[in-house]
Amino acid sequence: MTTTFDFTHHRILVTGASSGIGREIALQLIKSGAEVFALGRDAQALSQLGCQTLCLDIADSITLDSALQALPPLHGLVNCAGISRLEPATAISAAAFDQVMNVNARAAAQVASRVAAKMIEAKLAGSIVNVSSQASLVALDDHLGYCASKAALDAITRVQCAEWGRYGIRVNSVNPTVTLTPMATMAWSDPAKRDPALAAIPLGRFAETVEVALPVLFLLSSAASMISGVSLPIDGGYTSR
C-alpha cells in the first residue's frame, strides 16, 4: 500500500501496542514521523518498536493514571488495548465479564479522559480513535461480554465526541472484522470455523493489520478534520447484511 501520512511533530499515544493491530498502528505512525508513546504489557515487544514506551497493565487504574500524568500533552490517542473471554450466554461469570469490561471500556474511557484533559488545557485540537469491533454491531456466539464491551466503547466514543467537540477534539471509533494477527491466524485456521465466517464477508477475506491501521491514521489526520462521532466498520461488508 502506498498511502502516506505526515505526523511530524505530533505526539501520539497507542495502547495495546505490544502486538497485533496496536503494534501495526504504532509502526505506521512512527513511519509517518510521529513521536509515538507505546503502551502495553510486553516490555520486550515494546522495546523493538524504537519509540518511547509505557509497560503496564492497563486494567490497573492507579498505575495507569500515574503513567498518563507523566506524559506531555498529546496530539492524538489510539485506544487499541483489548481482551476477550469467550463464554456462552448461559454461563456468564462475573469475573470474566468484569475483566473484559474493565479493559475494553473502562480503561479506554480513563485513558481518553486524561489525554483529553491535557489537550484542552494545552489548547490542542487533537484526535482520538477508539478501536472497537464488528462485535459491537452484530451478535457473535460466546461473545456476550466482548460484544457488550465494544458496544459500550462505541457509546463512549459518541459521548466524548459530544463533550469535547467544542475544544476541537475529534473522537471516532473503528470496528474491524477478524484481523489476521498471528494469534488470529491460528485461531481461525480450522476450516469449520473459518469458512462460515468468510462466507458472511462480501469481500470474502479477513482483514490484514495494515488495513485497519491506515484508516486509523486517516482519522487521526487533518484529512478527517470534519469527521467525529462515527463508528467505522472495517469489515469487508460483514455488517451490511
What was the pLDDT predicted at 218? 98
Q: Which of 7, 37, 146, 164 is catalytic?
A: 146
* DSSP character string of 204-216: -SPBPHHHHHHHH
**For residue range 222-240, what is the model confidence (pLDDT) as tens digits?**
999 999 999 999 999 999 9
pLDDT < 50 regions, the chain: none
What was the pLDDT predicted at 241? 85
Whole-angstrom distance, CA of residue 113 vs CA of residue 157:
11
Class of domain 11-179+210-226 as given by CATH: alpha beta
Sequence-ordered list of residues with C-beta below 8 angstroms from that of 230, at least 6 positions apart, any chain: 172, 173
What was the pLDDT predicted at 2? 67
Whole-angstrom distance, CA of residue 148 vs CA of residue 58:
19
Quickly tell me which residue has 484508516 as its cell: 215
* 238 catalytically annotated: no
What was the pLDDT predicted at 208? 97
Average pLDDT, the chain: 96
